[in-house]
């Protein structure tokens, strides 16, 4: 590998790792620099008092429609760290009744693959279901241009304009929007929400198959990424925050960390919004970098909380992986996290683990842990009166969890090559249409890599788009693909 044309990738989350691995795979000399000690960025485990091992910061769910993310996992030969549903099963819990309805994919082609179970599901009434059909038809009819033009409109407005009942909004649309966009439909861009439903409902019948990690997040992701970076030949520096992007005579010359200067003629930023804006403003090369920084700030972030409850035994009924708790603002979902884990990964936990991701949690941040626990216990005891005793309860607050795709934010998302020459952009906030998710991150990282390769004359990358498979990696798994674990 030649020293000429050296590239520094900043940030070893999923975006930075995807970018570095794909570039090194095409012969580029890459150094990946990470501020923290572990790889995987926000997909992270934390230490909590009273637990002898690390656990997830928060439930991280993926879907089969996360094609580039699944390609990355396949390329890392780490299929065992995920388990995918063999049939879409989305369960809804009416807490007061303790009743669970499950939407399942059936034999009909999309967008009707969930229709039969939806007709039978008691959590919505006949009027709600007729309304849903109307919205699905409207979503199917709009063109991609019309969808993007909806960006200034709040999704709630769109839903009301398209005849949705209060119950359909609260019970069907809002939980899915919250889980995927980390914002409610009153505050979400219609363009982003419509993107999500069109991907999930119209592309393939298996798009909404849920995938979950079989071990604690850093525990399974860090070694898989590290191994793959190493065999690709990427030079890795951890615990080395990049302080500044350096330039000489108007040309990018590298970056400085606390301990050293690393030379490079291209710097790729795969960092979250806040450090990206700081690094961009620090390079005194072009007004365009300040403009991108201002735009990223205009997008801003929303919060997530991870609640972790440990019980003396299983809480959810057998074979129920997770439920969405209908019309519960705080305790939005219950995941049987112990059920998802491998046998070995269950060791060292203080009890049977229920994981509760709280999306768009900004208004709950100041609640005391004890108040949150009381609310959790109310929900669990109401729905499952015989639930085993609670042993431990923990709250993890992630203040800048994801980008906030509010109405009018689409125009602020940059493309990979929008910054000044020598700087390429690649985080989960890049304009890939995807929300700030693990899939958005991998797409961001690969888009940055493709841009650089195209600039350097790799003709295959001129036409590459993040909707296409990364050509050097295994194809994403369909249901039943050998080597992938399903349930
Ligand atoms: C609590 C929580 C729950 C979530 N749940 C889900 C979910 O269920 N499903 C889903 O798909 N997504 C979920 N997400 C979102 C998802 O984790 C992120 O969108 C994705 O991981 C972002 O990846 P990234 O590589 O773009 O950024 P990051 O993961 O943030 O990686 C950026 C890296 O840059 C490093 N860095 C920052 N500054 C510097 C610097 N100056 N020098 C060097 N390195 C630097 C950081 O340490 C970090 O490792 C969740 C996020 C959080 C926080």
Task: Spell out the per-residue pLDDT of the chain, length 487, in tens.
Answer: 445 689 999 999 999 999 999 999 999 999 999 999 999 999 999 999 999 999 999 999 999 999 999 999 999 999 999 999 999 999 999 999 999 999 999 999 998 899 999 999 999 999 999 999 999 999 999 999 999 999 999 999 999 999 999 999 999 999 999 999 999 999 999 999 999 999 888 779 999 999 999 999 999 999 999 999 999 999 999 999 999 999 999 999 999 999 999 999 999 999 999 999 999 999 988 999 999 999 999 999 999 999 999 999 999 999 999 999 999 999 999 999 999 999 999 999 999 999 999 999 999 999 999 999 999 999 999 999 999 999 999 999 999 999 999 999 999 999 999 999 999 999 999 999 999 999 999 999 999 999 999 999 999 999 999 999 999 999 999 999 999 999 9
Question: Which distant-in-sequence residues (6+ apart) come within 8 Å of 134 by Cβ?
Answer: 162, 163, 164
CA count, 13 A, side-chain hemisphere, 17: 31
Atom of ligand 1 nearest to the CA of 16: 25
- Find out whether 301 and 287 touch, Cβ atoms under 8 Å: no
Distance separating the N- and C-terminal Cα atoms of the chain:
43
SS3 7: strand
Is the minimum distance from the CB of 302 to ligand 1 under 6 angstroms? no
Query: Exposed/middle/buried for 142, CB within 10 Å: 0-12, 13-18, 19+?
Result: middle
Question: Which distant-in-sequence residues (6+ apart) come within 8 Å of 234 by Cβ?
Answer: 20, 21, 24, 30, 31, 32
How far is Cα 324 from Cα 346, in angstroms, rounded to an integer?
A: 23
Is the minimum distance from the CB of 13 to ligand 1 under 6 angstroms? yes
Is the minimum distance from the CB of 275 to ligand 1 under 6 angstroms? yes
Specify the pLDDT at position 285.
86
Element (H, E) at 398: strand 390-403
How many Å lie between the centroid of ligand 1 and the Cα of residue 79?
A: 21
Length, in residues, of the chain = 487
The best mutation among 40, 41, 200, 429 to test binding of ligand 1, ranked by most ligand atoms within 8 Å of the C-beta, falls on 41
How far is Cα 339 from Cα 438, in angstroms, rounded to an integer?
A: 22
The best mutation among 43, 69, 236, 431 to test binding of ligand 1, ranked by most ligand atoms within 8 Å of the C-beta, falls on 43
Give the strand pairing for 7-10 and 266-269: parallel
How far is Cα 414 from Cα 432, in angstroms, rounded to an integer?
A: 9
How many Å lie between the centroid of ligand 1 and the Cα of residue 397?
A: 14
> Which protein residue has the closest C-alpha to ligand 1 atom 19?
437
How far is Cα 476 from Cα 470, in angstroms, rounded to an integer?
A: 10
Q: What is the DSSP string of 18-67?
A: HHHHHHHHTT--EEEE-SSSSSSTTS-EE--TT-SS-EESS--EEETT-H
Instruction: Decide if domain 47-65+301-403 falls under CATH 3.90.660.10.
Output: yes
- Find out whether 303 and 56 touch, Cβ atoms under 8 Å: no
Specify the pLDDT at position 3.
58
Collect contacts of 464-470 with beta carbons under 8 A, ≥24 apart: 466/68, 466/432, 466/434, 469/67, 469/68, 469/71, 470/22, 470/68, 470/71, 470/75, 470/446
Atom of ligand 1 nearest to the CA of 428: 26
Specify the pLDDT at position 145.
96
- Find out whether 323 and 89 touch, Cβ atoms under 8 Å: no
Atom of ligand 1 nearest to the CA of 435: 19
How many Å lie between the centroid of ligand 1 and the Cα of residue 273?
A: 10
Specify the pLDDT at position 1.
47
> Which protein residue has the closest C-alpha to ligand 1 atom 33?
11
How many Å lie between the centroid of ligand 1 and the Cα of residue 181?
A: 15
How far is Cα 131 from Cα 144, in angstroms, rounded to an integer?
A: 23
How far is Cα 255 from Cα 275, in angstroms, rounded to an integer?
A: 14
- Find out whether 100 and 316 touch, Cβ atoms under 8 Å: no
How many Å lie between the centroid of ligand 1 and the Cα of residue 13?
A: 6
How many Å lie between the centroid of ligand 1 and the Cα of residue 271?
A: 8
Distances (CA, A) of 141 to 105, 169, 364, 445: 22, 20, 38, 31
Q: Where are the domains of the chain?
A: 7-43+217-300+406-486, 47-65+301-403, 106-203
Residue 260's nearest CA partner among 8, 445, 20 is: 8
Question: Which distant-in-sequence residues (6+ apart) come within 8 Å of 154 by Cβ?
Answer: 185, 186, 187, 188, 189, 190, 407
Question: Which distant-in-sequence residues (6+ apart) come within 8 Å of 3 by Cβ?
Answer: 29
> Which protein residue has the closest C-alpha to ligand 1 atom 7?
60
Is the minimum distance from the CB of 426 to ligand 1 under 6 angstroms? no
Is the minimum distance from the CB of 443 to ligand 1 under 6 angstroms? no
The best mutation among 207, 236, 271 to test binding of ligand 1, ranked by most ligand atoms within 8 Å of the C-beta, falls on 271
How far is Cα 23 from Cα 261, in angstroms, rounded to an integer?
A: 21
Fold held by 7-43+217-300+406-486: FAD/NAD(P)-binding domain (3.50.50)
Is the minimum distance from the CB of 39 to ligand 1 under 6 angstroms? no
How many Å lie between the centroid of ligand 1 and the Cα of residue 459?
A: 31
Question: Quick check: bond before 111 cis, omega within 30?
Answer: yes
Is the minimum distance from the CB of 212 to ligand 1 under 6 angstroms? no
Alpha helix locations (H) across 162-214? 166-168, 174-181, 190-198
Model-level pTM greater than 0.85?
A: yes
How far is Cα 153 from Cα 188, in angstroms, rounded to an integer?
A: 8
């Amino acid at each position: 590998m030649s020293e000429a044309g050296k590239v520094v990738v900043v940030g070893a989350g999923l975006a930075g790792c995807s970018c570095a691995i794909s570039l090194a795979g095409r012969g580029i000399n890459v150094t990946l620099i990470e501020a923290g000690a572990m790889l995987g960025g926000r997909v992270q485990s934390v230490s909590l008092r009273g637990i002898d091992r690390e656990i997830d910061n928060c439930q991280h769910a993926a879907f089969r429609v996360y094609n580039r993310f699944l390609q990355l996992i396949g390329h890392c030969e780490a299929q065992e760290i995920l388990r995918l549903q063999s049939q879409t099963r989305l369960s809804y819990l009416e807490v007061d009744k303790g009743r669970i309805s499950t939407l399942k994919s059936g034999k009909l082609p999309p967008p009707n693959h969930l229709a039969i179970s939806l007709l039978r599901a008691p959590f919505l009434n006949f009027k709600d279901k007729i309304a849903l059909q109307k919205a699905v038809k409207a979503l199917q009819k709009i063109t991609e241009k019309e969808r993007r033009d909806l960006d200034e409109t709040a999704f709630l407005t769109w839903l009301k304009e398209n005849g949705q009942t209060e119950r359909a909004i609260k019970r069907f649309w809002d939980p899915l929007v919250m889980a995927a966009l980390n914002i409610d439909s009153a505050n979400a861009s219609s363009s982003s929400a419509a993107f999500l439903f069109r991907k999930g409902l119209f592309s393939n019948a298996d798009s909404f198959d849920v995938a979950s990690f079989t071990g604690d997040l850093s525990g399974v992701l860090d070694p898989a990424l590290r191994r793959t970076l190493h065999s690709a030949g990427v030079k890795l520096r951890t615990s080395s925050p990049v302080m500044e992007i350096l330039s000489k005579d108007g040309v990018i010359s590298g970056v400085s960390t606390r301990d050293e200067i690393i030379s490079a003629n291209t710097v790729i930023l795969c960092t979250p919004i806040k450090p990206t804006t700081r690094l961009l403003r620090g390079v005194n090369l072009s007004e365009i970098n300040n403009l991108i920084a201002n735009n990223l700030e205009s997008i801003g972030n929303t919060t997530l909380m991870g609640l972790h409850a440990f019980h003396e035994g299983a809480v959810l009924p057998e074979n129920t992986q997770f439920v969405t708790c209908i019309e519960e603002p705080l305790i939005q979902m219950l995941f049987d996290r112990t059920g998802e884990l491998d046998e070995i990964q269950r060791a060292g936990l203080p009890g049977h683990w229920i994981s509760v991701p709280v999306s768009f949690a900004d208004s709950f941040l100041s609640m005391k842990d004890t108040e949150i626990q009381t609310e959790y216990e109310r929900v669990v005891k109401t729905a499952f009166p015989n639930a085993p005793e609670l042993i431990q309860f923990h709250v993890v607050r992630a203040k800048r969890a994801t980008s906030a795709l509010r109405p009018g934010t689409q125009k602020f998302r940059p493309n990979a090559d929008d910054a000044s020459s020598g700087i390429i952009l690649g985080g989960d906030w890049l304009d890939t249409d995807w929300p700030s998710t693990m899939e958005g991150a991998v797409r961001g990282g690969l888009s940055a890599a493709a841009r650089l390769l195209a600039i350097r004359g790799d003709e295959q990358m001129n036409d590459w788009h993040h909707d296409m498979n990364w050509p050097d990696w295994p194809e994403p798994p369909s249901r039943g693909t050998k080597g992938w674990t399903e349930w």
